[in-house]
Amino acid sequence: MARSLFAFLFAMALAVPIQPSASAEEAGWDERFRTQVGEWKNTIVAQDPQFKEWRDAQIEVQTLGTNQHQWLISLSRGSKQVGYMVIGEVMPTDTAAAPPQFVLLEYGLGEYILFDDTFAPREIAAEPVYDGFASHWLVSLPQHGKQVIDAKTGERYLSTTQAEEPVMSSLREQDLAVPGQQLTATRIVRSEETHPFDDISWFVPLVRAAEESPRLSWEDLWQRDTDKMTVAVRLYHSEVLSPFSVGSLHVWNHHKPYVGVWDEGLRFLPYAYVQKVGKFHSQ
């Protein structure tokens, strides 16, 4: 009887498929993630000479927020930071059965990265929230309120400033660089950092004009023979106006554009996102 019971249990054990352990799945995910970071890093370095300092940079990964499925990758050489990437996960649109895939939300060049410790609030309860230009730390105040602090510059906004529903998370894979895609075209508009308030010719057409000016398409931006391009972005229920000088343009996989703006360094965001939150002006 004992032998029969043992044989039955042994047969049942063989019939049940062995599920991979959580640690094995995590190790596989981590390997895919780091491989993808390396592939995107290498194609950017190969196509844009401005990113030459990325070539031998070390990589450090930080999770952004809670359950956001977004990660900040800082790149450094020795003790000097040279840039960053923000990578997210989205569900593929072609099949519901496919697992989430990595997408390149943003990347930047320079010493001051997004959510840089130099500008980080000293309060303990500071949550990093990523949403492109509206990325911020959300700090809990003693009076049970919240304060928004800009994730790129450390600027503290008024205590009445309220974050909006995130726009970046509304983008789909067709708007973003995904695994297997390369940086295929670059254009340097302005190689030196400039401040948009040095030349405010953009202000009236983008901010004060009675009628909204026609939006510039990606083709318009790419073909404009000028080094003076500005994008003006309204944030936090239009309470904050943030203008940026355009420094470079990138195209991934021949048809996925990213806009590089000067903001304490050069930062690239998907054109599909930028056109949702801002308006372009060129001279």
- pLDDT by residue (tens digit) across 193-232? 888 888 887 787 767 654 566 677 899 889 988 888 899 9
pLDDT band at 28 (very low <50, low <70, confident <90, very high): confident
pLDDT at 144 over 70: no
| Three-class HEC string of the chain | CHHHHHHHHHHHHHHCCCCCCHHHHHHHHHHHHHHHHHHHHHHHHHHCHHHHHHCCCEEEEEECCCCCCEEEEEEEECCEEEEEEEEEEECCCCCCCCCCEEEEEEEEECCCCCCCCCCCCCCCCEEEECCHHHCEEEEECCCCCEEEEECCCCCECCCCCCCCCCCHHHCCHHHCECCCCCEEEEEECCCCCCCHHHCCCCHHHHHHCCCCCCCCCHHHHHHCCCCCEEEEEEECCCCEEEEEEEEEEEEECCCEEEEEEECCCEEEEEHHHHHHHEEEEEC
Residue with structure tokens 């002006």? 281
What's the pLDDT at 71? Answer: 96
Burial of 196 (0-12, 13-18, 19+ CB in 10 A): buried
What's the pLDDT at 66? Answer: 75
Predicted TM-score (pTM) of the model is 0.86
Q: Which of 62, 88, 63, 87 minimizes the C-alpha distance to 74? A: 62
CA angle centred on 17, ends 16 and 19, rounded to 5°: 125
Q: Which of 249, 207, 250 minimizes the C-alpha distance to 226? A: 249
Number of Cβ within a 10 Å radius of residue 248: 20
What's the pLDDT at 283? Answer: 74
Question: Residue 235, Cα to own-chain centre: how many angstroms?
Answer: 16
pLDDT at 13 over 60: no
Domain spans of the chain, in order of start: 22-168, 182-282
CA angle centred on 58, ends 85 and 150, rounded to 5°: 35
Q: Which residue type, as a one-letter code, is found at position 215? A: R
What's the pLDDT at 5? Answer: 45
The predicted-structure confidence for 51-99, as pLDDT tens digits, reads as follows: 999 999 999 999 997 777 899 999 999 999 999 999 999 887 766 667 8
How many percent of the chain have pLDDT more than 70?
85
pLDDT, the chain, mean: 86
pLDDT band at 266 (very low <50, low <70, confident <90, very high): very high
Residue with structure tokens 């974050």? 163
CB 111 within 8 A of CB 80: yes
Is the model more confident about 234 or about 215? 234
The predicted-structure confidence for 149-164, as pLDDT tens digits, reads as follows: 999 989 999 888 998 9
The predicted-structure confidence for 105-125, as pLDDT tens digits, reads as follows: 999 999 989 998 888 888 667
What's the pLDDT at 10? Answer: 43
What's the pLDDT at 98? Answer: 73
What's the pLDDT at 21? Answer: 56
Distance CA 189, CA 253 (A): 20
pLDDT band at 140 (very low <50, low <70, confident <90, very high): confident
